[in-house]
């Protein structure tokens, strides 16, 4: 794969050489990451390899070098040990787990196309010094990444040392001012200072009683070691006598710590370009090291963030199916039972869509057909519709839910779907940033789609070349079909490795089809009611704004952070909030805290204004989205949340306000449509806590659910050793917050912030909880410890979430991954359970032959539209299917409500 980094493509006169001290950084990486957490199934430790590779990727991303070289020590023997046998003699023997990892790092560098160097009888520092001198002569900027402070003597114009100060994740940028600020001498005198104070890691003892400050003072006065020697008689006191007593050591140190910059090397700086990435070799070495997908994704993103990191475009043959020959082509090529990868062209969204083209790839044969509805041959239309509906013909599609809307709008059905490569990739690595076909083709196939075809086709059409435009469109869609088929082959193996093939076949694929159906149904809204609500909220916004203006004596833009900063902190003199670039923050959390602290009436009006304005924007956003039947169609997103939860967008119907009375007024606008008499809501009671009880096996928590008492009262009574009748509202609130907080990875500090208590009080409360519910404590500890070893967490139904940052040397990233490890099994299990319930309810309603139907899923709640006379039958079905969605150690309680609108159907 050709480099070049797109961000450097226009920098023709700027060459930046990055040099790394291989052994120094590998050793630091080894001690930064726990060796026991990075061991392959063959017993090979890989923590140094992983840490070094991760650091290198970060450097490539952050520094954007045009040239890179890595220098390694060949052995512990060098010209320095020949001169002084005790040189580096104090260093302990390398740990057994470190052995062999340097050669693995070199294998990784080979695959990445990054050159590395060694030189017999010399150290990596000498190689770096030589390359630095040559690069400076060539006018190159040089960055040196090394954990050896001897490299500071190389710092100067256009030469900077990146020195690791925390593992290999935090680097200190040591340019000339930084060196002088830290040591009191410029870089060209650092070697002199090191000779005086010594270097423990090299077993070069300095002058006893003389530290960097004293040495820097001498060098400031006498310039060099030779200058100091010339003025020995002028240096008084104990330090001066110590200098005279140990002068031979200083002279020896000065000779040994000089970096040689005149070596004959096999490569010159200009030859250290990053010009070839061997994709298969990278995959092979990463597979051998058992590195998981995220580090591969990071590498690809760095090497080519704006274009696929691929060797070449997908190979295709552009064949179009002539009008009237669809049936014959399908019979000859796509009716043998071999899986056919299909790519649909068209547009879809808001419950409907339109198809304009379709491409096929089956067993090496490819073709494209224009199926624009008003021009397609009727026989072709019929043949294609029959083939799509034939369950005996297996089909592979990428991100099928959108095309399903267009297929349904066409009056067709899709059967025989055996894979959706977007969903498969999501199950393999739910933490990916994108499941776009082009990105997946780059990551897994190392091939580029014909992604420019459509843009090119539009230009060709403008130029009058319709035949060429048609060929460009066909090429684009065929390449997508080919990539989809090839991705399926690769991802099937990954799914099997992750025990996720069943989740795809039995849950996510049928769910995608159900979600498309739900999107097509939409949910009815009362537009007249929404218009009145908009007027009501609008009037309240104006009223509250007037109140706010009267308090401060003038009008401002209440939505302007700058104007609010002036009013709050200058005019009203309120306590300052968190400092940000533009002043002091006026976000919701900060203002809430400020209101609790001051109770200022302007803040009361301001927060009220924000709340009502937000509600009005929700109402005003809903009305234009209603179709001719007054139904709103959301889009469910199946691959957004890494835990498996569904999300909703355009509009987000999972976020319709419910906490305030005014917010619940918006829910009243959602009503049954024509031919239906009511809405039904059904949800699980305390599902996350029930899953916690099941996963932890905690006898006390299980008893709480089996006691038929209020859960949080029961838990509070146990935790604080009091009678249930003595649990007051505040105690119950605190226990409820903590119980759910634990299920979502909340720390003692997070709990203290939520409850407005001190971290010490929060920690004490958690300890009391854990003393009585030890199974919960043990589960929370074990789930993180097990994930460190396996690399993933798992839900009740086997959905995995991979968390490589559990072993990160970056504390913040590691702690975030730990919270995810605590949260993912519980939230993910809840997501899986409601998905199984949805499918069960839909299937049972179909088998019962009723007209009632599922419209929405809102996390642990289902919303259904009930046909006249079917309420009792549907309610029984919903209870049965939701209760049977999972087999837990505690009962799953299902609550059902029915009403003339969404709010009144609540329970």
Tell whether 144 and 169 lie within a shared domain: yes
Asked if residue 875 belongs to a domain, the reply is no
321 and 452 part of one domain = yes
Same domain, residue pair 443 and 350: yes
The DSSP code sequence of 718-776 is HHHT--GGG--HHHHHHHHHHHHHHHTT--HHHHHHHHT--HHHHHHHHHHHHHH-HHH
**Amino acid 621: pLDDT:** 92
Here the CATH number for the domain that contains residue 770 is 1.10.150.20
**pLDDT recorded at residue 468:** 64
- β-sheet bridge partners, residue 346: 355
Spatial distance between the Cα atoms of 860 and 880, rounded to a whole number of angstroms: 16
What is the spatial distance between Cα 714 and Cα 117, in angstroms, rounded to a whole number?
67
CATH of residue 141: 3.40.50.1010
Contacts (Cβ under 8 Å, ≥6 apart) of 677: 866, 867, 868
Q: Supply the range of the domain harboring residue 724.
A: 688-824
Same domain, 802 and 706: yes
Cα–Cα distance measured from residue 30 to residue 52, given in angstroms and rounded to the nearest whole number: 9
- Tell which of 521, 536, 571 closes a domain: 521
Number of domains comprising the chain: 4
Report the residue count for the chain. 907
Here the CATH number for the domain that contains residue 573 is: 1.20.1060.10
- Say if residue 816 is in the same domain as residue 736: yes
Question: For each successive 10 residues of the chain (907 residues), what is the average pLDDT?
Answer: 34 74 88 80 83 90 90 77 63 72 90 89 90 90 90 90 78 88 87 80 76 83 82 80 80 80 88 74 80 70 50 78 95 94 95 96 95 93 97 97 97 97 95 85 83 41 53 92 96 93 97 98 98 96 95 92 91 88 82 89 93 93 95 95 92 88 93 97 93 92 85 85 88 84 74 80 83 87 89 94 80 80 92 98 98 96 97 98 96 95 92
Residues 514 and 535 in one domain: no
* Buried-state track 470-493, b at ≥16 Cβ within 10 A, e below 16: bbbbbbbbbbbbbbbbbbbebbbe
pLDDT value for 734: 83
Q: Give pLDDT, residue 451.
A: 53
Same-domain pairing of 49 and 88: yes
Separation of alpha carbons 269 and 136, rounded Å: 10
Which CATH number belongs to the domain containing residue 498 in this structure? 3.30.420.10
Q: Are residues 541 and 447 in the same domain?
A: no
Whether 38 maps to a domain, the answer reads: yes
Rounded distance between C-alpha atoms, residue 357 and residue 343, angstroms: 8
661, part of any domain: no
Q: Which own/partner pairs from 281-285 qualify as long-range (CB within 8 Å, at least 24 positions apart)? A: 281/110, 281/111, 282/108, 282/111, 282/112, 284/111, 285/104, 285/107, 285/108, 285/111
Tokens standing for residue 717: 């009574």
Same domain (yes/no): 549, 488: no
Let me know whether 568 and 709 are in one domain: no
List the 365-370 sheet strands across, edge first: 365-370, 352-362, 340-349, 395-397, 417-420
Nearest one of 340, 467, 520 to 415, comparing CA atoms: 340
In a domain, 360, yes or no: yes
**Does residue 224 sit within a domain?**
no
- Regarding whether 493 and 374 lie in a shared domain, the answer is yes
């Amino acid at each position: 794969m050709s480099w070049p980094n797109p961000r450097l493509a226009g920098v023709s006169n700027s060459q930046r050489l990055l040099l790394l001290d291989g052994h120094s950084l590998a050793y630091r990486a080894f001690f930064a990451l726990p060796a026991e957490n990075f061991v392959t199934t063959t017993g090979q430790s890989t923590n140094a390899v992983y840490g070094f590779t991760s650091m290198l990727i970060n450097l490539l991303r952050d520094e954007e070098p045009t040239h890179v070289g890595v220098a390694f020590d060949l052995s512990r023997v060098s010209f320095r040990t020949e001169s002084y046998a005790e040189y580096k003699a104090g260093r302990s023997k390398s740990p057994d787990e470190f052995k062999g990892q340097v050669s693995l790092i070199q294998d990784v560098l080979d695959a990445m196309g990054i050159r590395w160097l060694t030189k017999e009888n010399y150290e990596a520092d000498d190689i770096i010094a030589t390359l630095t001198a040559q690069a400076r002569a060539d006018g190159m900027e040089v960055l040196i990444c090394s954990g050896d402070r001897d490299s500071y003597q190389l710092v100067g114009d256009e030469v900077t040392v990146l020195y690791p100060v925390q593992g290999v994740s935090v680097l200190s940028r040591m340019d000339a001012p930084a060196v002088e600020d830290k040591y009191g001498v410029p870089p060209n005198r650092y070697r002199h200072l090191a000779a005086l104070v010594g270097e423990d890691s090299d077993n070069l003892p300095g002058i006893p009683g003389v530290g960097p400050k004293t040495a820097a003072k001498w060098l400031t006065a006498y310039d060099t070691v030779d200058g100091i020697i010339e003025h020995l008689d002028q240096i008084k006191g104990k330090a001066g006598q110590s200098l005279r007593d140990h002068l031979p050591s200083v002279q020896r140190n000065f000779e040994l710590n000089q970096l040689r910059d005149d070596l004959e090397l096999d490569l010159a700086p200009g030859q250290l370009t990053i010009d070839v990435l061997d994709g298969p070799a990278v995959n092979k070495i990463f597979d051998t090291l058992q590195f998981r997908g995220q580090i591969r994704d990071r590498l690809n993103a760095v090497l080519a963030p704006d274009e696929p990191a691929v060797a070449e475009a997908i190979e295709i043959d552009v064949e179009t199916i002539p009008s009237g020959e669809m049936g014959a082509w399908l019979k000859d090529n796509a009716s043998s039972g071999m899986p056919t990868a299909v790519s649909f062209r068209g547009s879809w969204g808001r419950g409907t869509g339109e198809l304009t083209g379709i491409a096929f790839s089956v067993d090496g044969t490819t073709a494209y057909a224009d199926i624009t509805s008003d021009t397609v041959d009727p026989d072709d239309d019929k043949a294609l519709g029959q083939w799509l509906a034939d369950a005996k013909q297996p089909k592979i599609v990428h991100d099928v839910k959108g095309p399903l809307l267009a297929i349904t709008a066409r009056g067709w059905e899709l059967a025989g779907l055996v894979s959706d490569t977007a969903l498969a990739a999501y199950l393999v690595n739910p933490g990916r940033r994108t499941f776009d076909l082009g990105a997946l083709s780059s990551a897994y196939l190392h091939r580029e789609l014909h992604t420019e075809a459509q843009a090119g086709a539009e230009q060709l059409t403008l130029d009058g070349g319709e035949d060429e435009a048609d060929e460009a469109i066909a090429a684009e869609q065929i390449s997508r079909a080919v990539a989809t088929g090839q991705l399926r082959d690769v991802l099937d193996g990954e799914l099997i490795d992750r025990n996720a093939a069943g989740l795809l076949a039995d849950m996510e694929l049928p769910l995608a089809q159900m979600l498309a159906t739900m999107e097509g149904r939409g949910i009815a809204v009362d537009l007249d009611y929404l218009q009145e609500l908009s007027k009501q909220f609008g009037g309240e916004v104006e009223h509250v704004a007037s109140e706010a203006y009267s308090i401060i004596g003038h009008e401002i833009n209440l939505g302007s952070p700058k104007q609010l900063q002036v009013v709050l902190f200058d005019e009203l003199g309120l306590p300052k909030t968190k400092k940000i670039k533009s002043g002091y923050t006026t976000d919701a959390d900060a203002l809430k805290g400020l209101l609790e602290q001051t109770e200022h009436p302007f803040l009361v009006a301001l927060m009220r204004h924000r709340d009502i304005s937000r509600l009005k924007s929700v109402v005003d956003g809903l009305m234009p989205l209603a179709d001719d039947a007054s139904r709103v169609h959301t889009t469910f997103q199946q691959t957004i949340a890494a835990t498996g939860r569904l999300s909703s967008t355009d509009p987000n119907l999972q976020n319709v306000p419910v906490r305030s009375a005014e917010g619940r007024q918006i829910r009243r606008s959602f009503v049954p449509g024509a031919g239906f008499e009511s809405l039904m809501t059904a949800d699980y009671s305390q599902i996350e806590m029930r899953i916690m009880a099941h996963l932890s096996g905690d006898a006390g928590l299980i008893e709480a659910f089996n006691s038929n008492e209020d859960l949080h009262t029961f838990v509070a009574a146990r935790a604080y050793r009091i009678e249930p009748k003595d649990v007051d509202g505040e105690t119950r609130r605190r226990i409820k917050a903590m119980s759910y907080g634990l299920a979502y990875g909340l720390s003692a500090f997070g709990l203290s912030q939520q409850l407005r208590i001190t971290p010490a009080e929060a920690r004490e409360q958690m300890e009391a909880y854990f003393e009585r519910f030890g199974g919960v404590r043990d589960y929370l500890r074990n789930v993180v410890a097990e994930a460190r070893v396996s690399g993933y967490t798992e839900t009740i139904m086997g959905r995995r979430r991979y968390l490589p940052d559990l072993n990160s040397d970056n504390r913040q990233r590691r702690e975030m991954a730990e919270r995810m490890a605590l949260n993912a099994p519980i939230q993910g299990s809840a997501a899986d359970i409601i998905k199984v319930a949805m499918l069960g309810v839909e299937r049972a309603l179909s088998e019962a032959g009723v007209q009632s139907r599922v419209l929405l899923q809102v996390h642990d709640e289902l919303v259904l539209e009930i046909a006249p006379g079917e309420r009792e039958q549907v309610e029984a079905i919903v209870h049965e299917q939701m209760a049977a969605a999972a087999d837990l150690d505690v009962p799953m309680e299902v609550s059902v409500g029915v009403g003339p609108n969404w709010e009144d159907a609540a329970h």
